[in-house]
Homo-oligomer: A and B are copies of this chain.
Amino acid sequence: MKVGIINITGYAGSELARILYRHPEVEITSVTGRSAAGQQLNEVFPHLSAMDLTIEPELSGSLDLVFSALPHKASAEACIPELEKGVKVVDISADFRLKQADEYAEWYGVDHPDPTYLEEAVYGLTELHRHDVRESRLVANPGCYPTSAILALAPAVAQGIITQDVIVDSKSGVSGGGRSLTMTNHFSEVNENVFAYALGGHRHLPEITQELGNLSDETLNLTFLTHLIPMTRGILSSSYATLANPSEWTGDEGKKRIMDLYQDYYADDPFVQVVPVPPQTKQTLGNNLCLVHPTIDQRTGRLMVISCLDNLVKGAAGQAVQNMNVMCGFPEETSLEALAVYP
């Protein structure tokens, strides 16, 4: 199968190439990058020197599927012509994630290039929409934060065991901010430092409420706050929710039942592991797992869920390949089998 990558020169794009390098069904035949057009891929990314590719200004040749790793708006504008040529698309940007065009406009500050695709697009959190992904030609790959938050809360929301009061406190490494230069990725500014940002509301919030809203009749009253911590890869989200009936979840029995509930929910999902001890982002470095640990704060009757993942893999390129595998009928784990690089 011939695959193209639009904007390989960012971190999501280069990570796609790394993951697809050994995919037995895929040949990457065309890659683009805005600033680096004309350069060999290995000049920009020496770690990809095993791949002999020239970065082009535009995709070339006949392709079966395209990944786009462009920023929002530019991504939709690049994807739609591919769709119209009959090419399947996995879009890593935010452009097809939200179902409501007005919500897109509110959070992203621009009108959507073509809202007619919003209904058709499948939100590619594979674990929630595997069936739809299988039938789709346009998958909107989820944001990195929402992947960690939705997987942490979906079982509890779907089972109706929590009230609408939910707080998600997320901690992210720096690579989630991309490869473009900003003061918030200057090493001297972010090393030995931690801070909260986007206190007025992070753009990933509406994805979380949309997707969890689909699982329940109630609307979440969600506070979602993001923090930058001094590491390159990884997101850890700590989610807090009020139990509807705390008295049902007391003691060790309560902790065991919440583990069971989560394990049942994800029993058929190879990339979600419900783990018995609090997980660490390092346990996911370079691989496609989301680790989830639910427990009960006995003093307060709250559900606490710790979830983590590699923001460039399960939070971006890995999940995109997972979606491609499902869309194309390959085994879901193909090319995603690597264990985490630890320590």
Given contacts A18-B339, A169-B238, A223-B297, whether A232 and B304 have CB atoms under 8 Å apart is no
- Of A14, A179, A186, A231, the most chain B CB neighbours within 10 A belong to A186
Q: Which residues of chain B are within 8 angstroms of A189 by Cβ–Cβ distance?
A: 282, 343
Q: Which of A42-50, A72-80, A122-130 contacts B (4 or more CB under 8 A)?
A: A42-50
- Of A179, A183, A193, A223, the most chain B CB neighbours within 10 A belong to A193
- Of A189, A229, A295, A338, the most chain B CB neighbours within 10 A belong to A189
> DSSP majority for the A interface?
mixed
Given contacts A238-B169, A342-B14, whether A223 and B304 have CB atoms under 8 Å apart is yes
Chain copies in the assembled complex: 4
Q: State A115–B169 Cα separation when bound (angstroms).
A: 38
The minimal Cβ–Cβ distance linking A102 to chain B, given in whole angstroms, is: 16
* Chain B residue at smallest Cβ distance from A296: B199
Q: Which residues of chain B are within 8 angstroms of A174 by Cβ–Cβ distance?
A: 187-188, 191
Determine if A204 is an interface residue (Cβ-Cβ < 8 Å): no
The minimal Cβ–Cβ distance linking A199 to chain B, given in whole angstroms, is: 6
**A residues lining the B interface (CB < 8 Å):** 11, 14, 18, 21-22, 45-50, 165, 167, 169, 171, 173-175, 179, 181-183, 185-197, 199, 201, 221-223, 225, 227, 229-234, 236, 238, 240, 242, 273, 275, 277-286, 291, 295, 297, 299-302, 304, 306, 308, 337-343
